Amino acid sequence: MSLSCLKNEEKQTIFANKSPSTRAIYSISYRQFEDFCSKNHIKKEEITQKDIDNYIEYMSNTLKLKHNTIKIKLNAIKSYYKDNKITLNAKTPTLYAASYEPNILSLQMINQLYLRLKHNPRKLFMFVLFSFCEGRSDTIASLDVTNIDIKKMVVIYKNKKRKSFKHFSGIANNYMEYRNSLQLDTNALFLSQTYLERLNGRSVRRILSFELGIIDKEKNIRDLRITCQKIEKNKNEQNNLFYSKKVI
């Protein structure tokens, strides 16, 4: 049974627990895997570990796909089999990228970024979700207003995972007051300022990259996330500069 042959109601159950953008990516990724199986006369119910290994080799050596792209395509395969309750008699291995040495930002540099964003509630809350609440750019773009629980100070992602932003409650309140004042038909949390429509993941990355680049062109948003995760892991409100009133 190919994905393209599924009825509409059946299509809606595939990757149903994923965000719309992830469903689209996974659907394309699985169709590509189907094409690979068809060309190599592999039956979906009889996939072996060697088939998975050959597909990884094909993606890496023939298609020249990057590590993260291959991971996404393998996750799509696992998710498809799980959603359709089909036994996958093979393991999709955990792939590890070449070691990445992050260019850690100083607290003063993060403070500079905060000061740049403090008068823009939209960008500042986006920065908090990305850097401290494990929000990927595509995930942040897919959030609705209802995914923010101001009373409990948590963001609820599409996979039901919750992350607290209690240390940034003022930032969240400011943005939600602004967002609710717009009184638009869309429930999207973050909107483009020009067209007032939902931002996509690429736009979120571009906004954060641009603002960070103003502070230091040598740093990227991956460095920003890693730095902030270290701060979050080792935070001590008694002596951590970032959580003092001088910064937030």
Look up the pTM and report it.
0.59
The per-residue pLDDT for 94 is 58
CA angle 85-87-91, nearest 5°? 125
For the record, the structure tokens of 80 come out as: 């498809």
DSSP string, 4-42: GGS-HHHHTTTTTTS-HHHHHHHHHHHHHHHHHHHHTT-
The per-residue pLDDT for 107 is 86
Domains of the chain: which residue ranges?
Answer: 3-83, 107-243
- Domain 107-243: give its CATH architecture: Orthogonal Bundle (1.10)
The per-residue pLDDT for 100 is 60
The per-residue pLDDT for 121 is 93
Count Cβ atoms below 10 Å from residue 105 Cβ, excluding itself: 22
CA dist 37 and 227 (Å) reads: 42
**158 within 8 A of 18, measured Cβ to Cβ:** yes
The per-residue pLDDT for 12 is 47
Tens-binned pLDDT, residue by residue, of the chain (248 aa): 344 444 444 444 567 777 788 888 999 999 999 999 999 999 877 888 888 889 988 998 899 888 888 888 988 998 888 887 777 776 766 554 555 667 888 888 999 999 999 999 999 999 999 999 988 899 999 999 999 999 999 999 988 899 999 889 899 999 999 998 988 889 999 999 887 899 999 999 999 999 999 998 888 898 898 888 888 777 654 344 444 444 44
CA dist 166 and 189 (Å) reads: 18
The per-residue pLDDT for 19 is 79
The per-residue pLDDT for 235 is 62
- First-to-last alpha carbon distance for the chain, in angstroms, is 54
Q: Do domains 3-83 and 107-243 have the same CATH topology?
A: no
CA dist 179 and 190 (Å) reads: 8
The 3 state secondary structure assigned to 35-64 is HHHHHCCCCHHHCCHHHHHHHHHHHHHHCC
Provide the CATH topology of domain 3-83: DNA polymerase; domain 1 (1.10.150)
**Residue 23: CA count within 13 A, CB half-sphere:** 15
